[in-house]
Amino acid sequence: MALALVPKGVKASVMRLPQVHDTTKQGLVTYLIAVAREKGVSAYVGEGRNCWSAAHVLDVAHLYRLTLEKHEAGAKYHAVAEEGVAMRDIADAIGRGLKVRVVSLSPEQAQAHFGWLSMLASNDLRASSVQTRRKLGWNPTGPGLIADLERQSYFAEASPSASLR
């Protein structure tokens, strides 16, 4: 929608966001944590080789600033610091944090386990920021998704936005 306004003189660009994380919230991974807490197991589908892209919230904030300062109308930017974090690694980190078993599910079991998130939990959602880095001089330096998951406090009450009910 925004890019459709560029021919009308609007200096719009688009930012693609991955799993934006810190030690409090991790994009869709926050919902994976809520599911694992509710079900008592942290799961991944198949071998867990499908990956999600990620970036630390401070790196994303810096990229937004660079985009506002340097962007070109009609540009598409990707806020990706890590191109692919394996779902098995994410499930393992959640399992350690919650002190629950980590299990592999079949695609058929994934629907019942993950609910609305099952399609995303099964898909490879990798993206690259090579062009974004080149165009804007962006160099993410924040911790990775797994590092933030390792430092997260899993014992705090789940936030209302992460509720599955």
pLDDT tens per residue, range 83-122: 999 999 999 999 999 999 999 999 999 999 999 999 899 9
Instruction: Say whether pLDDT at 6 is over 90.
Output: no
User: Mean pLDDT in the chain?
Assistant: 91
Whether domain 14-152 has CATH 3.40.50.720: yes
Per-domain residue ranges for the chain? 14-152
Tokens encoding 37: 């807490």
> Is the predicted pLDDT of residue 154 greater than 90, yes or no?
no
What pTM did the predictor assign?
Answer: 0.88
Percent of the chain predicted with pLDDT > 90: 77
- pLDDT score recorded for residue 3: 86
- DSSP states along 46-94: TTS--EEEEEEHHHHHHHHHHHHHH--TT-EEE--SEEEEEHHHHHHHH
